[in-house]
Chain A
Amino acid sequence: GAGVSQSPSNKVTEKGKDVELRCDPISGHTALYWYRQSLGQGLEFLIYFQGNSAPDKSGLPSDRFSAERTGGSVSTLTIQRTQQEDSAVYLCASSFPFGYNEQFFGPGTRLTVL
């Protein structure tokens, strides 16, 4: 596709359940990022991939959060044992690596934990 795609667009889950969020970056973009935006807040960095490796995982809020990227393309963000404070919009972005490159964002996945 032409842009970054994310699925699902909306996810409602019960507290304690695991969820998986998917991101398809723009073809050719080797850098991939996950951010989240909680209500009334700015975008908060979670993790950065260069190819399949993650040089910066510093934004993951707890060990319940993990992410992987396979084939240098699709990425999955997994949240285990979800809590109500995990409710947010999870945004994925991709870019060419390094240098003065803008990041292109997907539409996001709105996660609601009941």
Chain B
Amino acid sequence: DQQVKQNSPSLSVQEGRISILNCDYTNSMFDYFLWYKKYPAEGPTFLISISSIKDKNEDGRFTVFLNKSAKHLSLHIVPSQPGDSAVYFCAAKTQGGSEKLVFGKGTKLTVNP
């Protein structure tokens, strides 16, 4: 039973345009959400996070939106750059429960010059 789902295995966008990566979750107990970026042969790198008391968090070119009623979050990258090409993982956690992160399967983003 997959509690965190990234339904798009891949996404291709042009440099300078917006990239939107989506993530859905089923466990209503999740209250902290994170996005990680992963290059081949490297470990995941933390990108941005959001707690369930917020609906938006912004850090430079990266913005995460949370829609709790829809159990949906998205990562917006504006403007997209070729160096953003990587696999993006959505992860979720329940505060006060296990400290483990539950990950989606990832979306491979390709930004074309």
A residues adjacent to B (C-beta < 8 A): 4, 31, 33, 35, 40-45, 48, 50, 55-56, 58-59, 91, 93, 95, 97-100, 102-108
Distance in angstroms between the alpha carbons of A18 and B44 in the assembled complex: 27
Distance in angstroms between the alpha carbons of A4 and B100 in the assembled complex: 17
Structural contact, B99 and A56, CB atoms closer than 8 A: yes
Distance in angstroms between the alpha carbons of A105 and B45 in the assembled complex: 7
Structural contact, A48 and B99, CB atoms closer than 8 A: yes
Q: Given that A48-B98, A56-B98, A100-B32 are known contacts, is A91 also in contact with B103, CB under 8 Å in the complex?
A: no
Interface size on B, residues (CB 8 A): 25
Structural contact, B99 and A102, CB atoms closer than 8 A: no
B residues adjacent to A (C-beta < 8 A): 4, 6, 32, 34, 36, 41-46, 49, 51, 89, 91, 95, 98-106
Structural contact, A43 and B98, CB atoms closer than 8 A: no
Distance in angstroms between the alpha carbons of A27 and B75 in the assembled complex: 30
Q: How far is the CB of B33 from chain A (nearest CB, A)?
A: 10
Chain A neighbourhood of B101, CB < 8 A: 33, 35, 43, 45, 103
Extra contacts besides A102-B49, A107-B42 (14): CB < 8 Å: A33-B99, A40-B105, A42-B6, A42-B104, A43-B91, A55-B98, A56-B100, A93-B43, A98-B99, A102-B34, A105-B36, A105-B43, A105-B45, A108-B43
